[in-house]
Chains A and B, each alone.
Chain A
């Protein structure tokens, strides 16, 4: 039962990589010529998945490939996937910002999409003027905006400043007003991209509440993209999992989130000798392989936030009697070193029996564990070092491994906003009354 609100059939979207400026004219002519003769576009190669890690052979990337799904009227559906999985492209196609390369989308009802808060706000105009302008940009008629005007102003809490140009607004007020307009759209289908990452925690709660009201109370269809698993699981009964532009699953949200965390998005997590790019070689020892492991699924590059990240370094020692000190730097996306660690007894929580021990020629494996509930839900990189007694002779492999820590919602029961910081340790908290 239930009428279908959105029906997506064989939807694909290709993007061209690289420079558009040079050579496009000659390429355009070549393409037109091929199409004229009834041949396929020579620059479109079907069958190449959108995998950023491995360089493709053509510079066309399929951001979405053969997507099929149906959404029933009144459902709230979450879209889950890693960066570059095609989530935003899917929303862009559904909200008609761009056209698909192949396939079709059929929609029943009016669509309002919210890919950004405050699109088209003009700083010189007053709050009142911007409500009308923004509402109209989002597809509302003037009389509809008039009808909801008081509710919008009330929701945003900006009564006093409604006739002030929005350039004088605080950023919080600006965002509140912008979301308020969007929240009061009269559309049967609402498409929302990660817009809740803005504003303060209280307002985020209000937004989520409003969106819940929209989908549950008013029976409107909602499509919601977020990295915030807690928000998705609160709001959406069903979810879609995208990976490299392909639809992995569409199921109940908790099943999908589970799958998202369990199946590593790419099985990287491991670099072997042949792929290893060593920045500096040593005469005493050399890397053999580097690996990232999780206790639940072995080699992976995706870790749930509460999981231990196990880093293995395998290396060959070239001479008898060498001492080798393996060491690791953890970096964030901006190459800032978050910490450096090595196995010295005073710097390690466990005792490494091979510390400072002269080694026989052969292969060794050192393991380091970053505990769960310590990192934030971000991307991290690792630099690895093999340091012999003469430190200048060390082997260096920079950014050899990258991994992603994924939100499970475990630490998100109270706060759903953007979590600041490069790490997110669980610390001990206590409050006592001093004067009461």
Chain B
């Protein structure tokens, strides 16, 4: 076990962590942050996407002990935050979710896409989403939601 200090959703903690434990398992099983979902556990589906020092990562292929001194934000940390509330509303209005399992990871990635591409085209959104699997929606609603949320966020800034 390794004592690790890290900040999760604004709260700094130190905890004994088994070096082989993934960040996703640590968040879900040790911190009870179950909004981070596991769809494949080998870095292919994107359901477990979280923010690590402002970068989106797949928490299933990051070891928790690697997060010493770093800041992690999960979907739970976005519950009362702009622009995620805007993105959430557009996901709702564009029918961008069905079973909801991929949704937390999709939202984390959507926010990141909008931050990097304030005016994302359809093809930019599609290629940026290429590591996020949704089995239900056929992606149409998700793409439409990201496009319209980006527009609203852009308009609010201007």
Asked if A and B bind, the verdict is: no
On B, residues with C-beta under 8 Å from A are none
On A, residues with C-beta under 8 Å from B are none
